């Protein structure tokens, strides 16, 4: 991983050194990361009791981009973003037969009182890196309008480590320690629009949006609170389960910050 990052840094600085202007863009903003009808994939046998899930997360996002603008308008940027905090929402669709099997309930006797998944996004961060290629328009003096698209990869872990994953694969019963855990992955094509106004030759203001549209996955551990009947009578139980949803996701981000231009 370190070698890959080092190589990418070397390539970025090499490319920027070849062209007219190098720009550095620190930003702050907010994002909306969402996925609809993400299909559940079986990871843990009987604990996979859901058919699909919708997710929505609105974190704060900070970023740093470095790139170049050639005299003919060619634009290249390497953008990096870190998203954290914000409220996480999920809406699940439970499979009746699967939850009956997990609880050992009599057929048709399960009443799901509620399904909860922690909406706190602490203990981690979502990181996305984008390689952008496009064109910079210069309609009037001191103004640039940048349009670009590229490739993106994002990953986020919250209250979850590789050690945790190995442990819950091996344990006989999922417990409460996993309720806050989340894992998010997104790979896709980002589309970006930026407006830049330069107060001086080297310093300006950058306002932009981008939307990464692609394929992603989310790992959650919802707690199912259910009332049911078995051979011992009527019972109520809270059971931690696992949900691994995969499908189309997107990350829409608004960002603002200064832009610094270094001219050759």
178-187, pLDDT tens digit by residue?
778 899 999 9
Task: Please count the structural domains in the chain.
Answer: 1
**Tens of pLDDT, residues 98-156:** 888 888 888 888 888 888 887 778 888 999 999 999 999 988 989 999 999 999 999 99
CA dihedral 235, 169, 46, 53 (to 10 degrees): 90
CATH of the domain at 78: 2.40.160.20
Residue 187 lies in a domain: yes
Residue 99 lies in a domain: no
Task: Quote the pLDDT of residue 210.
Answer: 97
| 43, pLDDT greater than 90 | no
* 191 phi/psi in degrees, rounded to 5: -110, 130
Task: Quote the pLDDT of residue 247.
Answer: 97
* Confidence tier at 8 by pLDDT (50, 70, 90): low
Q: Which helix (H) or strand (E) holds 237?
A: strand 233-240
pTM of the model: 0.86
- 73's CB contacts (< 8 A; 6+ apart) are 135, 136, 137, 138
Residue 245 lies in a domain: no
Cα–Cα nearest to 33, from 67, 73, 97, 81: 81
Please, is 112 exposed, middle or buried when counting C-beta atoms within 10 Å of its C-beta (0-12, 13-18, 19+)?
middle
Query: Region 74-93: what's the mean pLDDT?
Result: 93
**Tens of pLDDT, residues 224-254:** 888 988 887 888 988 888 889 999 999 999 9
- Cα atoms in the Cβ-side hemisphere of radius 13 Å centred on 250: 10
Alpha carbon distance 210, 161 (integer Å): 29
Whether 60 contacts 83, CB under 8 Å: yes
Alpha carbon distance 248, 34 (integer Å): 9
Identify the domain containing residue 31 by its residue range: 1-36+48-90+123-214+250-262
Candidate from 24-33, 87-96, 115-124, 142-151 with smallest mean pLDDT: 115-124
As a residue count, the chain comes to 264
**Tens of pLDDT, residues 137-146:** 988 989 999 9
């Amino acid at each position: 991983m370190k070698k890959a990052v080092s190589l990418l840094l070397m390539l970025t600085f090499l490319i920027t050194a070849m062209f007219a202007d190098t720009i550095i863009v620190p930003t702050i903003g907010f994002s909306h990361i969402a996925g609809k009808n993400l299909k559940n994939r079986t990871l843990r046998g009987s604990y996979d009791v859901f058919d699909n899930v919708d997710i929505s997360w609105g974190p704060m996002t900070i970023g740093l981009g470095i790139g170049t603008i050639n005299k003919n308008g060619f634009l290249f940027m390497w953008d990096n973003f870190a998203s954290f905090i914000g409220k996480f929402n999920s809406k699940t669709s439970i499979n009746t037969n699967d939850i009956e099997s997990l609880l050992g309930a009599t057929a048709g006797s399960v009443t799901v009182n509620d399904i909860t998944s922690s909406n706190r996004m602490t203990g981690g961060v979502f990181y996305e890196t984008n390689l952008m290629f496009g064109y910079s328009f210069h309609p009037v003096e001191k103004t640039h309008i940048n349009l670009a698209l590229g490739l993106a990869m994002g990953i986020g872990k919250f209250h979850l480590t590789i050690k945790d994953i190995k442990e819950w694969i091996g344990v006989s019963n999922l417990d409460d320690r996993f309720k806050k855990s989340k894992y998010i992955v997104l790979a896709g094509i980002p589309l970006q629009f930026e407006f830049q106004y330069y107060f001086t030759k080297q310093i300006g203001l950058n306002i932009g949006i981008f939307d990464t549209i692609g394929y992603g996955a989310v790992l959650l551990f919802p707690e199912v609170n259910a009332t049911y009947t078995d051979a011992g009578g009527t019972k109520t139980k809270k059971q931690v389960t696992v949900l691994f949803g995969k499908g189309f996701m997107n990350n829409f981000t608004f960002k603002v910050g200064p832009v610094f231009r270094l001219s050759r």
